Structure 1
Amino acid sequence: MNLIRTGQTDRSVRWRLLLASATMLFVELALIRWAGANVVHLSYFSNFILLGSFLGIGIGFLIPAARGQWLKRWAPLPLAVLVILVREFPVQVRQSSDQVIYFTAVKTTGFPEWVTLPAIFLLTAVIMTAIGKITADLFRRLPSLDAYRYDLLGSIAGSVSFALVSWLRAPSVVWGVLAAAALLVLGGRRNTLRYGIPLTAMVAVLFVETTMPGISWSPYYKIQLTASTSTTRAYHISANGVPHQSIAPLPTLMQKNSPYRQPYDRTPGNPHQRVLVIGAGNGNDVAVALAHGARRVDAVEIDPRLQQIGAQLHPAKPYDDPRVHVHINDGRAFLERTNAKYDLVVLALPDSLTLVAGASNLRLESYLFTKQAFKAAREHLEPHGAFAMYNYYRKSWLVDRFAGSLDDLYGHAPCMTTFSKNAAVLVAGMTTADQSCQQIWQPSGTVPEAATDDHPFPYLLHRGIPTLYLGALGAILLVTLLAVRLTGVRIRSTVRYTDMFLMGAAFMLLETKNVIGFALYFGTTWLVNALVFIGVLLAVLGAVEVRRRLRRVSQLPLQLLLFGTLAVAWLVPAHAVLSLPFAGRLAAAIALAFAPIFCANLIFSDRLALAPDPTSAFGANLLGALTGGALEYLALLTGYQTLLLVVALLYLGACIAMRVVGRGPDAQSPSVADDETVALNSP
């Protein structure tokens, strides 16, 4: 009878752990999306939410089981407070910087970013500490690898759930209802009232947001559509609170001083029969291409909601024309996959207002503005074709960077037409005879070096970490130290898990590098990012399952294999993978990305199985992940490929620390480790 009760209890704990882990990751992803959509310009700093989440979860795991129970009793309260504060007292992050450009037309007010970002970071950390404490108390009730297994299964469930919500373009109230339902189940009957009041308030606030006129959600933005007050059939589209696009009638688009006309006016000898528009959006550029007699227009747009709005509301109905072929895809990914040739390729206002998946400093359009991307576009031009790009570039040095890249690639300076508000149109023909300039680009000063696929930061003036980021990271470090101190976590007690800390930092950097790699190979779409994250979790789960079935593990061969896979990933250049056909590119990307992750997590799983306090070890690992997220900013200085060297150094430090810890008094004996492994593999 006791065995039956024990089995039922273990089963209940496993399922509750799975739900807690799923809720933890779902809330983390939802906060990244929702906070970035409501705090103006926070979408450019969305990895700060990620760092706050890691801090909170790490502290939740490091707090001893007997302490911090009040966090569990009031778990929904900080989440409701954050949602209500952001909605009722909107926060705006100042974005003035001479080192990096943020695309916006909003004049921000309020506290400076060095106050705002740490405040949001701290609130996020408190939220995730509470949910992390719930998860950790369930985690420690199971054998270490069994607990880790269900934690991973829950993380996969959370990732899939949020990917499904994104695919359905569900509004924020749906996210809130799902999170509230999960928290109510985790809170149990005793906490129904205590949980119910703040969760009801949170859902009510999100319901009000959802029912506001013109509000809808895409996989990337909260979109607000407003009709123009003028007599023309025009609409304005804001994304994440920032004016983003406008729908205008064709006569307005075709006016002589319109930027939309310049690619055609500057190429009078071009037949304009086949046109590629990257950043087609609501359809303005597509309508202009059709008006100039295009027989085929390939319209590439990454955001399905923006294209849908254009299809429904654009007065010229460009998307109804049979000559138009719509591709909901990343522009760079489309260039890498298609074999078509065009008379004209247009980069039409492809500036995004968010980062890729909140896990890096890469923006959605960053890979469109590297010299490799410009070369890829040129390879799709007919012998007398032309390339055009335009935007409100904000700074003259950004125009010089792009124009200088075109000058190097085409062998002559492009045409440049300037407008008010720092708008500029650049047009480069295959030869000088294929362009007709009223004004030829001339540099306004020293031309910044071109962005590259390894350093895809076109809006960063020079290689380096801007003081804006350094100040915010410094504040986050201070908040982290204070948070660890105030929660009573003993730093000395976690020193024995230095190797776990270093492995967490290395893994976070490795995961970020893989997200960036897949974004280059297959596009920065939400689907690619979701599949990469799920793939990472599956690779980790696979490593855990292998370790659970092994009686003994020899660390040295695994460590050599890990460094071997990292060396291969370092030696294989990105252009070699891009040159492969799709199937080969997919196979190569999976092998290069997931082989090191699998090897690293075999090592990690073995260390977790031997840890005398697995929950604290896991908490130290999560704090290491926070450090790895901060180290990702090194890419602004070094480029992304060099991060693999940092990963290798961190894993080397972990291996050295592991040997020191393994000889210490807290290490389990081989007999204990073997007994645990047998127990984990028993039915």
Structure 2
Amino acid sequence: MQQEHERELAHDTGPAVAARRLTVPVPGNRVRLVLASALMLFVELALIRWTSSNNLYLVHMTNFVLLASFLGIGLGFLRGRAGHDLFPFGPVLLAVLIAFVLVFPVRTGTGRGGQWQLVGLFDWAPLPRWLSLAVIFVLTAATLMALAQEVARTFSTFEPLEAYRLDVMGSLAGIVTFAALSFLRLPPLGWGLVGAAVFVVLLGRRLRMVRRLPVLALGALVLMLGAESVVGSFQWSPYYKIHTTQLSGGLFRVEVNNTPLQTALPVSDIRRDSPFYLYPYTYAGSRDDVLVIGAGTGNDVAVALAQGAKRVDAVEIDPAIMQLGRDHHPDRPYSDPRVTTHVDDGRAFMERTDRRYDLILLALPDSATIVTGQSALRLENYLFTTQALTQARSLLKPDGTFAMYNYYEPWLLDRYANTVRTVYDAAPCVQLGPSYGPRQQAVLTLRKDASTGGCTTTWTPRTTALEPSVDDRPFPYLGSRTIPSFYLWMLGLVLLASVVAVRSVAGPLRTMRPYADLFFMGTAFLLLETKNVVQFALLFGTTWAVNAAVFAGVLLSVLAAIEVARRVTIGRPILLYAALLAALAAAWLIPQDALLDLSLVPRFLAGVTIAFAPIFIANLLFAVRFKGVGSSTVAFGANLLGAMVGGALEYLALIFGFNALLVVVAALYGLALLTGRRHLVVSST
């Protein structure tokens, strides 16, 4: 029996192991692998952030660039040492991608007909969505493929676990660097200079190759990003590309990610031209203590002060937008001593505060960005769930009033009004303003005691009211439990293109057959990581800092698992599958509401334990298996391609919710167990 298993393993590892054992790591390769891995993840994060700020097609495409990145990285690893050295072409491909996005942007504008619509450069018609996204996908995948091949070439000179360890250290460095640049609010020029410097170090003598094309490409890349950074009134916050315009009469307009956000108006102009700002106070009782979530540049804060508020807590997630309001709002509301500002996520603030309010106002808290390339969450998704509105109600004084307003399409107004009715068991007051195309200004108000304060115009559904969104499925902008058809087409074409690309680059797919279990592990782990991103967004806020901390925590868990696998011989790896199943079951059974009821420190400890226990065990399982692979680059490539499939399966959360992803994760690890069971037997004998 033992000999039979050894013959099976030889098919997987024989020649590859021999070749690998003849390869001796060159001094300096450790630094090269760390730098290459850091550059690869840095470029991936920068592209996810930057492309969506210039192309509105990507705002709601959640993980589109992430899928392209995983495909490119997987292809780069599958090539390994095979074929031409692609890394010198990395700067060229990246420069072409940047040029394409800048020359063919997709933004909101008036167009030639004078109507608000999507436009391109000089208000010309934008490229068709399918063409724009296809070019971005191909160029992103090609760029990451060139970078990943450099990682793979160095990766293969080490024993598998040592290579994996150095790769994770580099990835951690890439995340920390990008987080630091976000904290400093550096524009893309700063990102480009950092990336170009690492390119130069890694290219070394190869800079003279290919007719100095990499040098020219790096120069063009820095010039293009520099021009975008210094031309026009642009700022870069951790969330947005912000454009500011000084209007006549001292007014100030802000656009984010090529979309109009707000014009800072004095209260006198608001009373005359935008009276809906005053609607929340029409039927409110006392307004001594006011909470404004989505404070923006300060219009709602200025109105609250004008309405007699003695204290206003102004919550805004973006520090740059709040600073713009502080510096430029005509009424200077943020300088008033009655105002306390909070740069925070609105839901997280409500969960942490112990104050009580006369009026809680959700003031246009809709964003133009997603939390990360690895989840379908927008910044405000957790503000509109039944749990969020229940928490808001608990913060009201006995005669306090809750209000929310926006420009709603009829079906979305019905959903939000139905959510308010679900929480208060009474229909809210609805006050309507002018219509703008399919959208209409609307304000929903209701007192804590479920009375309308004298308002007689209460909400009644125009059609069948849509179910409220909940914390497990926080998608208020999705009409029903379905995956939109465009997403399905996109995912289908992406997966088909991926199969063709893998077949073309790496040859027959059967070369990856010995690593089918690693493929399923990659698919499962991406879903597990996504679940943790959204869980921590709920527990601690949908902020860039929380997001960066989660990714860093995941990588530290991976690093810890590698160190354990290097030092400890696990004789029965199948026990790890049992431990992983138990950890997944615990994460599935413990309700998120139970964690939200805890104070901050116990919530953090419980959240970290529940989230990172399965991550650590899963990575220990992967490390034990990866330790004995023959071709580390092919095995790692198969794992990364599995992660890309996991990114596609993430959309199941739109139908079943995020907690259901844990069931899918368990099933995928079951497939990994079935396809990799012979390696478990070998390890235990």
TM-score by length of structure 1 reads 0.92
Q: Do the aligned residues in 2 keep the contact of 1:543 with 1:602 (CA within 8 Å)?
A: yes
- C-alpha displacement at 1:531, in angstroms? 0.1
Letter in 1 for 2:242: I
The structural deviation recorded for 1:336 is 0.6
Counterpart position of 1:202:
221
| Cross-structure match for 1:410 | 424
Matches within 5 A, 1:44-123: 44-69=60-85, 71-91=86-106, 106-108=117-119, 109-123=125-139
> Any idea what SS the aligned residue of 1:465 has?
coil
Query: Equivalents in 1 of 2:82, 2:107: separation in Å?
Result: 40
Note if contact 1:223-1:239 (Cα within 8 Å) is conserved in structure 2. yes
Q: How far is 1:429 from its partner?
A: 1.4
Q: Give the match for residue 584 of structure 1.
A: 602
Q: Residue 421 of structure 2 aligns to which amino acid in structure 1?
A: D
Q: Name the SS for the 1:45 alignment partner.
A: coil
The answer to whether residue 240 in structure 2 is matched with residue 221 in structure 1 is yes
Q: Distance in 2 between matches of 1:153 and 1:64?
A: 20
Further displaced range: 48-57 or 8-17: 8-17
Give the 3 Å change call, closer, same or farther, for CA 314–660 of structure 1 in structure 2: same
> Post-superposition shift, 1:612?
1.0
Q: In 2 relative to 1, CA 433–190 (structure 1 residues): closer, same or farther, beyond 3 Å?
A: closer
Cα deviation for residue 184 of structure 1 reads 1.2
2:269 to 252, 256, 272: 252
Q: Deviations over 1:291-327 (max 9, x none)?
A: 1111110000000000000000001110001111111
- Alpha-carbon contact 1:118-1:479 (below 8 Å) kept: no
Find the partner of 2:151 among 120, 135, 138: 135
Q: In the alignment, which residue of structure 2 is the partner of 1:379? A: 394
Q: How does 1:174-573 map to 2 (within 5 A)?
A: 174-192=190-208, 193-228=212-247, 230=248, 232-255=249-272, 258-267=275-284, 270-393=285-408, 395-420=409-434, 421=436, 422-431=440-449, 433=451, 435-437=453-455, 439-573=457-591
Cα offset, 1:119, TM superposition: 2.3
Work out the CA distance in 1 between the residues paired with 2:515 and 2:89.
Answer: 30
Q: For each residue in 1:211-266, what CA deviation from the matched residue of structure 2 results, as whole angstroms up to 9, or x when unmatched?
A: 122100000000000112x3x22111111101111111120123385111001113
1:331-359 deviations in whole A, cap 9, x for unaligned?
00001111110000000000011111111
Residue in structure 2 matched with residue 125 of structure 1 by the alignment:
141
Query: 2:152·2:633 contact (CA, 8 Å) conserved in 1?
Result: yes
Alpha-carbon shift at residue 436 of structure 1 (Å): 3.1
Q: Residue 255 of structure 2 aligns to a residue in which SS?
A: strand
Could you tell me which amino acid in structure 2 is paired with residue 377 of structure 1?
A
- Alignment correspondent of 2:665: 647
Per-residue CA distance 1:150-170 (angstroms, 9 max, x = gap): 000000000000000000000
In 1, distance between residues paired with 2:370 and 2:451?
Answer: 39
Name the SS for the 2:676 alignment partner: helix
Deviation at 1:430, TM superposition (A): 2.2
Unaligned runs of 5+ in 2: 1-21, 110-114, 120-124
SS of 2:474 mapped into structure 1: coil
Compare 420-429 and 249-258 and name the one that shifted more: 249-258
Gaps of 5+ in 1: 1-5, 95-103, 672-683
Q: 1:302 to 1:183 in 2, by over 3 A?
A: same
- Counting matched residue pairs gives 647
Cα distance in 1 for partners of 2:289, 2:559 equals 48
1:552 and 1:590 mapped to 2: Cα distance?
Answer: 25
Letter in 2 for 1:570: W
Alpha-carbon distance in 2 for matches of 1:191, 1:444 = 65
- Counterpart of 1:412, as a letter, is A
Question: In the superposition, relative to structure 1, how do residues 91 and 487 fare at CA in structure 2: closer, same or farther (>3 Å)?
Answer: farther
Rounded to whole Å, the distance in 2 between the matches of 1:366 and 1:235 is 28
In the TM superposition, residue 210 of structure 1 has moved relative to its aligned partner by: 0.6
Distance 1:199 1:502 in 2: 37
2-side partners of 1:582 and 1:614: how far apart? 42
- Summarize the Cα distance change of 1:277–1:496 in structure 2 as closer, same or farther, 3 Å threshold: same
Q: Distance in 1 between matches of 2:639 and 2:655?
A: 26
In structure 1, C-alpha distance between the alignment counterparts of 2:149 and 2:637, rounded to whole Å: 10
Could you say what secondary structure the match of 1:216 adopts? strand
Aligned to 2:59: 43
Distance in 2, matches of 1:190 and 1:526, equals 36
Contact 1:51 1:629 in 2 (8 A): yes
Shift, 1:476, TM fit: 1.1
Cα distance in 2 between the residues matched to 1:173 and 1:583 = 38
CA contact (8 A) 2:401 2:446 kept: yes
Deviations 1:438-481 (A, max 9, x none): 52211111000000000100000001100121111122122212
The answer to whether 1:617 aligns with 2:653 is: no
Distance in 2, Cα, partners of 1:294 & 1:285: 11
Question: If the length of structure 2 is used for normalisation, what is the TM-score?
Answer: 0.92
Indicate the residue corresponding to 1:33 in structure 2. Answer: 49
Between the aligned partners of 2:265 and 2:29, the Cα distance in structure 1 is 58
1:105 Cα deviation after fit: 5.4
Q: Does the CA-based 8 Å contact 1:72-1:134 persist in structure 2?
A: yes
Secondary structure, counterpart of 2:535 in structure 1: helix
Quick check: 473-482 or 504-513, which moved more?
Answer: 473-482
CA distance in 2, matches of 1:654, 1:204: 47
1:557-616 deviations in Å (ceiling 9; x for gaps): 211111110110011000001111111100011001100010011110011111111111
Return the alpha-carbon distance in structure 2 between the equivalents of residues 585 and 432 of structure 1.
31
Pairwise CA distance, 1:660: 4.2
The amino acid across from 2:241 in the alignment is K
Tell me, yes or no, if the aligned pair for 1:350 and 1:365 is still in contact at 8 Å.
yes
Deviation at 1:662, TM superposition (A): 5.8
Cα deviation for residue 552 of structure 1 reads 4.1
Identity %: 48
Of 553-562 and 395-404, deviating more is: 553-562
Q: Which amino acid aligns with 1:324?
A: V
| Whole-angstrom CA distance in 2 between matches of 1:537 and 1:384 | 48
Distance 1:309 1:196 in 2: 38
- What amino acid does structure 1 have at the position aligned with 2:269? T
Q: Which residue number corresponds to residue 149 of structure 1?
A: 165
Q: Which moved more, 1:433-442 or 1:633-642?
A: 433-442
How far residue 271 of structure 1 moved from its aligned partner, in angstroms, is: 1.6
**Aligned pair in 2 of structure 1 residues 93, 562: CA closer, same or farther (>3 Å)?**
farther
Q: Secondary structure at the match of 1:56?
A: helix
Shift of 1:190: 2.6
In 2 relative to 1, CA 602–105 (structure 1 residues): closer, same or farther, beyond 3 Å? farther
Query: Is the Cα–Cα contact under 8 Å of residues 44 and 69 in structure 2 kept in the other structure?
Result: yes
Cα distance change on mapping 1:223 and 1:332 into 2, 3 Å? same
Q: Indicate if the aligned counterparts of 2:80 and 2:152 stay in contact, CA closer than 8 A.
A: no
